[in-house]
Amino acid sequence: MDLYGQSVSSRLLIGTALYPSPAVMEGALKASGSGIVTVSLRREAAGGRAGDSFWRIIQSLGAKVLPNTAGCRTVKEAVTTAELARELFGTPWIKLEVIGDDETLQPDVVALVEAAATLIRHGFEVFPYTTEDVTVATRLVEAGCRVVMPWASPIGSGQGIVNRNALRTLRARLPDVTLIVDAGLGAPSHAAEAMELGYDGVLLNTAIAKANDPVGMARAFALAVEAGRAGYEAGLMPPRDFASPSTPVVGTPFWHAAG
Amino acid sequence: MVLIVNGERQEVEATDVATLLRDLGFDGSFYAVAVNQEVVRRARWGEIRLAEGDSVEILTPRQGG
């Protein structure tokens, strides 16, 4: 898929949070085959080395890094965090999150569009985390976003795709934009469903990190993404209301023999 | 003077970012710094003058989703 002119082979983007240990994280990231990992910026304690050790692991993986603005609530916070991320990680990519509601972590889409426009003017390549609303997504594209990332359901909820029709509409209305389902995927089948809908990729974290076996689950998601994409490319049959026999009717034994 | 460093009031001698980081024991390799919500690029850590009450954020890479 195309991410701001860069061709990426894996359609799976993986978060780096919530793993039981750095070693498990490393194993899961490798098993996922993902070439892109999300990271954040946080305050460091004086004398602390948590940032240094984490960053060395990420660098050793050779993956592209997509920094986020997680936790930001205003345009100003998000823009400043993005500027800090560019300084720290040396990439113009930013996963833009502007949170509007604490309980659902629903994006503040009004602030999101404004922050995206500002960041694009500042030379960023913005990956906005948004809802499935087609008008908001269109505004983001008009602001200059070439990637849009609608949620499947609230972050960390694992509910999967709760508004399938809206995601299908979004895909149909924005055929030329790279669309990535971000957040809410709980099972490999959810990821496959997103890919079958024609999405270019999926981004997830909790479903892998919180599995009993994160490394095994990372592989399961990689297979699901590949299967879903292959299914989409092969062209799914349209559903219908009634049965249609798959076995030929002509030549059925005992046909009309009774009576 | 008193600065707000990562949200906490701190009495410091340093008057620039580079010295502040050294004095406070930030001796790792990967930091990004904002003063009063404006990014201070690494190349300018020695130039920017800090003033009484300035708010300094010192950030590092962390796990994220």
Query: How do residues A42-69 score in pLDDT, each as one tens digit?
Result: 998 888 788 888 999 999 988 999 999 9
Which residues of chain B register pLDDT less than 50?
none
Residue B50 lies in a domain: yes
Angstrom distance (rounded) from CA A161 to CA A222 = 18
Residue B20 lies in a domain: yes
A 82-111: CB under 8 A from B? 83-85, 87-89
Q: Coil, strand, or helix at residue A196?
A: helix
Residue B16 lies in a domain: yes
Residue B23 to chain A, least CA–CA distance (Å)? 10
Residue B43 forms contact with A (CB below 8 Å):
no
Share of chain A above pLDDT 90, in %: 88
Angle B28-B40-A86 from CA coordinates, rounded to 5°? 75
Residue B34 forms contact with A (CB below 8 Å):
yes
Structure confidence at residue A256 as a pLDDT band (50, 70, 90): confident
Residue B58 to chain A, least CA–CA distance (Å)? 6
Cβ-Cβ contacts under 8 Å, A54 against chain B: 60-63
Residue B31 forms contact with A (CB below 8 Å):
yes
Non-local CB neighbours of A75 within 8 Å, separated by 6+ positions: A98, A111, A114, A115, A118
Q: Coil, strand, or helix at residue A47?
A: coil
Q: Residue A259: pLDDT above 60?
A: no
Look up the domain containing B16 and give its range. 2-59
Nearest to A84 among B25, B32, B62 (CB): B32
Share of chain A above pLDDT 70, in %: 99
Task: Tell me the CA distances in angstroms from A205 to A16, A155, A214, A221, one per residue in order.
Answer: 7, 9, 10, 11
pLDDT at res. A181:
98
Cβ-Cβ contacts under 8 Å, B34 against chain A: 80, 83-84
Residue B65 lies in a domain: no
Residue B8 forms contact with A (CB below 8 Å):
no
Phi, psi of A253 (to 5 degrees): -60, 145
pLDDT at res. A258:
62
Cβ-Cβ contacts under 8 Å, B58 against chain A: 43-44
- A163 by Cβ neighbours in 10 Å (0-12 / 13-18 / 19+) ranks as middle
Contact B63 A40 (CB under 8 A): yes
Q: Residue A75: pLDDT above 70?
A: yes
A13, A24, A41, A93: best mutation site toward chain B, by most B Cβ within 10 Å?
A: A41
CATH number of the domain where residue B22 is located: 3.10.20.30
Residue B11 to chain A, least CA–CA distance (Å)? 14
What tokens does B27 get?
């001796």
- Chain segment A109-143, per-residue pLDDT in tens: 999 999 999 999 999 999 999 999 999 999 999 99
Q: Structurally, how many domains does chain B consist of?
A: 1
What tokens does A172 get?
């149909």
Task: Determine the average pLDDT of the residues in A80-88.
Answer: 95
Residue B15 lies in a domain: yes
For B11-54, give the DSSP string.
E----BHHHHHHHTT--SS--EEEETTEEE-GGGTTTPBP-TT-
- Chain segment A157-176, per-residue pLDDT in tens: 999 999 999 999 999 999 99
Of the candidates A159, A151, A157, A119, the residue with the CA atom closest to the CA atom of residue A133 = A151
Residue B30 lies in a domain: yes
* Long-range CB contacts (within 8 A, 24+) of B16-19: B16/B45, B16/B46, B16/B47, B16/B48, B16/B49, B16/B50, B17/B44, B17/B45, B17/B46, B17/B48, B17/B50, B17/B56, B18/B45, B18/B46, B19/B46
Residue B13 lies in a domain: yes
Pairing state between β A6-7 and A2-3: antiparallel
ipTM of the complex in this document: 0.91
Angle A149-A64-A207 from CA coordinates, rounded to 5°? 55
Task: Determine the average pLDDT of the residues in A233-249.
Answer: 93
Residue B64 lies in a domain: no
Backbone Cα Rg of chain B: 11
Cβ-Cβ contacts under 8 Å, B57 against chain A: 43, 84
Cα–chain-centroid distance for residue A242? 35
